[in-house]
Amino acid sequence: MDEKVLAETARKMVAPGRGILAADESTGTIKKRFDSIDVESTEEHRRAYRDLLFTTPGVEEYISGAILFEETLFQATSDGTPFPKLLADRGIVPGIKVDKGAKPLAGAEGETVTEGLDGLRERLTAFREAGALFAKWRAVITIADGLPSEYAIATNAHALARYAALCQEAGITPIVEPEVLMDGDNTIGVCEAVTRQVLDATFEELRLQRVLLEGMVLKPNMVISGKKCPQQASVNEVAEATVRTLRRCVPSAVPGVAFLSGGQSDELATQHLDAMNKLGSAPWALTFSYGRALQAPALKAWGGKSERVEAAQKAFFHRAKLNGLAATGRYSEAMEEAA
């Protein structure tokens, strides 16, 4: 294991004022996104859309890394430059989603375990050769009546750590993503308790499986009220609860925490990140690894039309910039209107 390389990649991914673009939608998910703008999900449309994002002028100032889906890793820009090379030349670290998705967990109704460990060692070698310097694996934990079970938490934590150890063996920095979903009617207090349980289990497995903490990035959910909860916590309550939970569970050897947005509106995801950074003095960088909250305005502006690529790139640049500012606590709501 080349500890220096792993740690250097991790540090680049969470460099001050920059964050990660999650553009690793699997074929089913990107189809859903394209359906919302009435665009057919063909291989060429998917390539053209990712091309638009990755070639956005100036975006490297705020985007440190991009997570790609396997198909995208082997695609190229319209002028034939492979995407991993284009990104690396622009100072954006190329990464790859390696999990095979969340599948029903045997004997645990309503819960899932993320699959993809079989053959992972060989796949990682091929991805590394194609230019991927980091990887991502997402575990999904659901809050509902009587859920999550300890069984689902433990099984997912075990798989996350097995994935992370294999990545580090291959010289690839793992993003460890244990996502507690925000879809329920639970209060922020319930989310805090569950997130704490999940992070504790995850770091216990990472320790047992000898994962180098300096050579990974954590991608958690924020501690937030469930979307259907009538009592929505304020921006400051979310920021305080999230940082408090991380302080209790995440060792300071981890260089950075890059949050998922989980279906929050793009502006709220930015406000929450900014409020956390305004609290100050966290032992890790606090930044973003958003999918929907970074891409939604760009996707809408594009609408599958080549003449709207520039407008879409402006929309993407704007969200990337505001999140980059939020990653150092320099965002203000007035900046939204300036757009």
Cα separation of 120 and 269, whole Å?
32
Tell me whether residue 103 or residue 248 sits nearer to ligand 5MM (CB atom): 103
Within 129-158, the residues that bind ligand 5MM by CB under 6 A are 138
Tell me whether residue 79 or residue 274 sits nearer to ligand 5MM (CB atom): 274
Tokens of 75: 């695609």
Among 178, 184, 291, 297, binds ligand 5MM (CB under 6 A): 291
Q: Residues 84, 130: contact at Cβ < 8 Å? A: yes
Q: Residues 198, 153: contact at Cβ < 8 Å? A: yes
Alpha carbon dihedral 109, 114, 117, 119, in 10-degree steps, equals 100
User: Smallest distance, Å, CB 34 to ligand 5MM?
Assistant: 13
Q: Select the residue whose beta carbon is closest to ligand 5MM and give its number.
A: 291
Considering the rule CB under 6 A, would residue 292 count as an interface residue with ligand 5MM?
Answer: yes
Within 16-45, the residues that bind ligand 5MM by CB under 6 A are 22, 24-26, 29
Per-residue binding string, ligand 5MM, 166-185, x by CB under 6 A, is -------------x------
Within 207-266, the residues that bind ligand 5MM by CB under 6 A are 260-262
User: Smallest distance, Å, CB 50 to ligand 5MM?
Assistant: 12
Tell me whether residue 131 or residue 291 sits nearer to ligand 5MM (CB atom): 291
Among 319, 293, 287, residue whose Cα is nearest residue 19: 287
* Beta strand pairing call for 285-290 and 256-259: parallel
Q: Which of 4, 219, 305, 321 is catalytic?
A: 219
Q: Residues 174, 167: contact at Cβ < 8 Å? A: yes
* Beta strand pairing call for 134-141 and 173-180: parallel
Among 293, 299, 312, 327, binds ligand 5MM (CB under 6 A): 293
**Could you confirm whether 227 is annotated as catalytic?**
no
Helix (H) or strand (E) holding 48: helix 43-54
Question: CB-based contacts of 225: which residues, under 8 Å, 6+ apart?
Answer: 182, 186, 187, 188, 191, 231, 232, 233
DSSP 2: -
Tell me whether residue 29 or residue 209 sits nearer to ligand 5MM (CB atom): 29
Per-residue binding string, ligand 5MM, 297-336, x by CB under 6 A, is ----------------------------------------
User: Smallest distance, Å, CB 101 to ligand 5MM?
Assistant: 6
Q: Which amino acid is at 48?
A: A
Number of residues that bind ligand 5MM (CB under 6 A): 16
Q: Compute φ and ψ for 5, nearest 5 degrees.
A: -65, -45
What is the greatest pairwise CA distance in the chain?
Answer: 53
Q: Compute φ and ψ for 256, nearest 5 degrees.
A: -160, 155
Tell me whether residue 137 or residue 203 sits nearer to ligand 5MM (CB atom): 137
Site for ligand 5MM, rule CB under 6 A: 22, 24-26, 29, 67, 101, 138, 179, 260-262, 290-293
Catalytic residue positions, numbered: 219
